[in-house]
Amino acid sequence: MKKTALVLGSTGLIGQQVVKQLLEDDHYETVTAVTRRAWPYQHPKLEVANIDFDQLSQYEEVFAADDIYCCLGTTMANAGSKEAFYQVDHDYIVGAAREGRKNDAQQFLVISSMGADPKSFFFYNKVKGETEEDLKALSYPSLHIFQPSFLDGDRKEQRAGEKLGIRITKFINQLGLLKTYQPVADSLVATAMIKAAKQNNPGITTHSNLDIVALGEN
């Protein structure tokens, strides 16, 4: 029986790749892309939903999907403050997951980050860790948490720090060191997410950067 999928953060680096791959996957009957921007193309399986993340409870029908792929995320620079960053990377994600669970979504697959830890001294890692913990408390039949290293792809916005990190880790990896931190392509992360969803593993599964690479390539 074919499934329905909902993609949050569908116009972002990984979200776009997830939508494209899902549309070509016979495993899914319909794919709903949640966006605040105009969607660039049409597809027979594609539905586009514009929602206000501050009023999630008003979009009950949107969250009636089997699998929810969450690729939401921002940066401190784009958010402008710690409060705004927390709102996007914690409140919106957990709120969306809660709405999905209320509407009987079976799987929630979310992009977190390597180093996520609710007890971290680093604000970014702490927020990611708190988000993971709050998602676990929702008791999804299947929760997949992906913790990639630097993401390699064609971003719309410039992230100087990430670009520098990618260059450095690529150079180090050529020397055979720090494979754990190797940059991972956006399309490969999307592939890993979809493959994980098809496994229908019950409970909570956390995918490290190396796990993502292995799953995406095999």
Write down the domain spans for the chain.
3-155+184-217
Does the pLDDT of residue 3 top 90, yes or no?
A: yes
pLDDT band, very low/low/confident/very high, at 191 (cuts 50, 70, 90): very high
pLDDT at 174: 52
Closest CA to 118 of 101, 100, 136: 136
Q: What is the C-alpha R_g of the chain?
A: 17
Does the pLDDT of residue 176 top 50, yes or no?
A: no
Closest CA to 191 of 217, 155, 153: 217
β-strand partners of 143:
108, 204
CA distance 112 to 96: 15
Does the pLDDT of residue 196 top 90, yes or no?
A: yes
Q: Provide, rounded to the nearest whole percent, the portion of the chain with pLDDT above 70.
A: 88
pLDDT at 155: 47
Taking the whole predicted model, whether its pTM rises above 0.95 is answered as no
pLDDT at 34: 95
CA distance 12 to 73: 8
pLDDT per residue over 104-160, tens digit each?
999 999 999 999 999 999 999 999 999 999 999 999 999 999 999 888 755 455 544
Does the pLDDT of residue 166 top 50, yes or no?
A: no
DSSP state for residue 10 in the 8-state scheme: T
Cβ-contact 50, 93 below 8 angstroms: no
What pairing do the DSSP bridges indicate for beta strands 67-70 and 151-152?
unpaired
How far is the first Cα of the chain from the last one, in angstroms, to the nearest whole number? 24
Classified as helix, coil or strand, 62 is: helix
pLDDT per residue over 28-83, tens digit each?
999 999 987 778 889 999 999 999 999 999 998 999 999 999 999 998 889 999 99
Virtual torsion, Cα 190, 194, 199, 202, nearest 10 deg: 80
Right CATH for 3-155+184-217 from 1.20.20.10, 1.10.3720.10, 3.20.20.140, 3.40.50.720:
3.40.50.720
Quick one: 143 exposed, middle or buried, by C-beta within 10 A (0-12, 13-18, 19+)?
A: buried
pLDDT band, very low/low/confident/very high, at 182 (cuts 50, 70, 90): confident
Helix 209-217 / helix 186-199 crossing angle, nearest 10 deg: 80
Instruction: Match 């593993």 to its residue by tokens.
Output: 201
Supply 84's token pair: 């705004």
pLDDT band, very low/low/confident/very high, at 177 (cuts 50, 70, 90): very low
pLDDT band, very low/low/confident/very high, at 102 (cuts 50, 70, 90): very high
pLDDT at 37: 76
